[in-house]
A and B are shown apart, each in its own frame.
Chain A
């Protein structure tokens, strides 16, 4: 496509620090693979890396020149971990005259609504054979803009309305917008984790945070039909879909938990019901994790948030998990979790009321500081292995994509 005079494309910046060292190749190829997958249904793009940047160009049948396609591609890329920021850019042949002829309509488009604006020029000359030096480029192009709009454009070095970037490489790249992206490590760099996903605010945030460290996310949801209705399951599927916009495809294991819950309700002391229920969820999730190759569990628990999240309760539940339990929200204030939930778009779904209705099995006066002995005693009348196996026999797996 380089023979084209003008081309719309996307400039993708990567995390510089993580690029150092021996992991670099693995990092980049994983990231490019993730980008390719996430953009696949928008068309075929050429994704190539040069130095610490990746360029996304039109390939066969994709059209970044269409604003809707550009916007969707930008939106998807901004949610891919490993990308620091992105810019929609215009590339033109490496010719100074063409650059000047392109810059004026490029700036003109941005001045459609009335008013005066401030700007500055930033130029980088990577191709040193280009006849004009960076400093002169800035001065001359800036002067050109001022001449064209003497009443509307003013130069300002500190926080101007626009920064026009000009990069001279094999071609010239022009851009002025930089969108922050998800940062972190590409998903797939850090193994696989099994997320205990409820319909609440915290667990999707926990999944997001672990995915941002490069973890592939699988999820397990404990469904207690008919105490919770089909809307509760739909809600969890929606949350998994929103999370998948960041984490990529998510396998959601839906456990039919009703029988287990009824058995626990019948045979456990009321004040230990929640802790014992959490222990069964941990056991079932661990088995599912082992089956799918996940090496850790992930929960949205935060210390002291509810009775089942006291230190003692967490210790008691962790005792039945034969693998590490990651709790990225453990020291986080609820409001900070809500801020993340809002930013990643899960909050509005999380606060739908469907799971509030299932408060049937919540202890009215739960033991807030249960000891491991309390838990063992509470499970005395239960055939734990058989109950876990019975639940594992009733699992449905859903493939969730964003």
Chain B
């Protein structure tokens, strides 16, 4: 954030301009591109700056569908995707006559590979999109395994992965996974809101969504946000450098939290499996609605989310948790807690204590 503020203050030069200030801005964008390429193990020319995860996902999926008129009009995805993927593919279903198949989730929240394999065999697929780490449960899909499965059964299909929750938190190499496209949101790794990345293999052709000044090799017109690009590159490299250390500390924090909870006479149900990303914990406290717990903790300046986001849906209506086959009572009482490496033991113990106390006070049978 500091680098962003400093560069934003420095001036308003357009990196596409030919004058001195513009050239300097262009150099800084290029530097950011190279740094990001190192962090994600891809080529600098495969890095495209966007306004966030949602734009990247829209560009990847719609851009592929509009560019690839010879692609089979069949898209495979999982039932556990973020809305940005689900809604973009629904758009293709509605306006470009795509057939959309949502592969079921297993009880641990991961995509059911046997079902995916079956769906791939039924009919040729043109697009496959699945997330790396579930934003709801932290469940980790095996990227390389999925890619090799798709390549074997549907060699023409383009594969996109929403790695928003994985980027900077779990080891990731664009080259090694063999994916065609991945989407990244800057604010999830503490870069400014309004920054994002699409990583796209050179062989993949996309139709741009924005037309204009042909920035970003014509794929994303619009003046590049140089301070945002720099800040994102820095945030990503810091995350990547410290990835192992952060992971270890976050895992310890999550496990310590579960230990603290276990010391209370409290019934809880961990929805996230032990193998899932430690950064997201989905957990239910039957008898106490997720929303009630969220409201009560929020009044104490502790911020968690519900499993069933109340603002947008009816209570108990959660697409992803339902797809995991969970009962309504569990879904209603589910919350999502984010962990990060800097959480100290006192804060974690306090959270567990507060949850136990609030459960005693507000749970109703």
Q: Chain A: residues with CB nearer than 8 A to chain B? A: 225-231, 262, 265, 353-354, 356-357, 359-361
User: Which residue of chain A has the shortest Cβ distance to B308 in the bound complex?
Assistant: A357
Number of interchain pairs (Cβ within 8 Å): 48
Of the listed stretches B15-23, B260-268, B292-300, name the one at the interface; the rest are far from the partner chain. B292-300
**Do the beta carbons of B315 and A356 come within 8 Å of each other?**
yes
**Do the beta carbons of A360 and B292 come within 8 Å of each other?**
yes
**Do the beta carbons of A229 and B364 come within 8 Å of each other?**
no
For window 270-312 of B, CB contacts with A under 8 Å fall at: 289, 291-296, 298-299, 310-312
**Do the beta carbons of A360 and B295 come within 8 Å of each other?**
no
Expressed in whole angstroms, the Cα–Cα distance for A227 and B289 within the complex equals: 8
User: Which residue of chain A has the shortest Cβ distance to B290 in the bound complex?
Assistant: A357
Q: Which 10 pairs of residues, A with B, have the shortest CB-CB distance?
A: A226-B295, A226-B296, A229-B295, A357-B310, A357-B315, A357-B291, A226-B292, A227-B292, A356-B314, A265-B364
Most B CB contacts (10 A, CB to CB) among A230, A357, A360 go to A357
User: Does residue B6 face the partner (Cβ distance < 8 Å to A)?
Assistant: no
B341-365 vs A, CB cutoff 8 Å, 1 = contact: the mask equals 0000000000000000010001010
User: Which residue of chain A has the shortest Cβ distance to B313 in the bound complex?
Assistant: A353
What's the minimum C-beta distance from A55 to chain B, rounded to whole angstroms?
Answer: 47
Residues of B near A230 (CB, < 8 A) are 295, 298
With beta carbons under 8 angstroms apart, the residue of B289, B358, B362 that contacts A357 is B289
**Do the beta carbons of B299 and A353 come within 8 Å of each other?**
no
What's the minimum C-beta distance from B359 to chain A, rounded to whole angstroms?
Answer: 12
With beta carbons under 8 angstroms apart, the residue of A227, A228, A262, A354 that contacts B311 is A354
Expressed in whole angstroms, the Cα–Cα distance for A361 and B289 within the complex equals: 12
Residues of A near B298 (CB, < 8 A) are 229-230
**Do the beta carbons of B364 and A354 come within 8 Å of each other?**
no
**Do the beta carbons of A231 and B311 come within 8 Å of each other?**
yes
What are 24 pairs between A and B in contact, CB < 8 Å?
A225-B295, A225-B299, A226-B292, A226-B293, A226-B295, A226-B296, A226-B299, A227-B289, A227-B291, A227-B362, A229-B294, A229-B295, A229-B310, A230-B298, A353-B310, A353-B312, A354-B310, A354-B311, A356-B310, A356-B314, A356-B315, A357-B289, A357-B310, A360-B289
B210-253 vs A, CB cutoff 8 Å, 1 = contact: the mask equals 00000000000000000000000000000000000000000000
What's the minimum C-beta distance from A357 to chain B, rounded to whole angstroms?
Answer: 5
Expressed in whole angstroms, the Cα–Cα distance for A134 and B298 within the complex equals: 70
Expressed in whole angstroms, the Cα–Cα distance for A241 and B313 within the complex equals: 25
Expressed in whole angstroms, the Cα–Cα distance for A360 and B315 within the complex equals: 10
Residues of B near A225 (CB, < 8 A) are 295-296, 299
**Do the beta carbons of A361 and B362 come within 8 Å of each other?**
no
User: Which residue of chain A has the shortest Cβ distance to B296 in the bound complex?
Assistant: A226
For window 16-51 of B, CB contacts with A under 8 Å fall at: none
Residues of A near B299 (CB, < 8 A) are 225-226
What's the minimum C-beta distance from B354 to chain A, rounded to whole angstroms?
Answer: 12
**Do the beta carbons of A353 and B295 come within 8 Å of each other?**
no
Expressed in whole angstroms, the Cα–Cα distance for A231 and B294 within the complex equals: 12
**Do the beta carbons of B291 and A229 come within 8 Å of each other?**
yes
Residues of B near A354 (CB, < 8 A) are 310-311
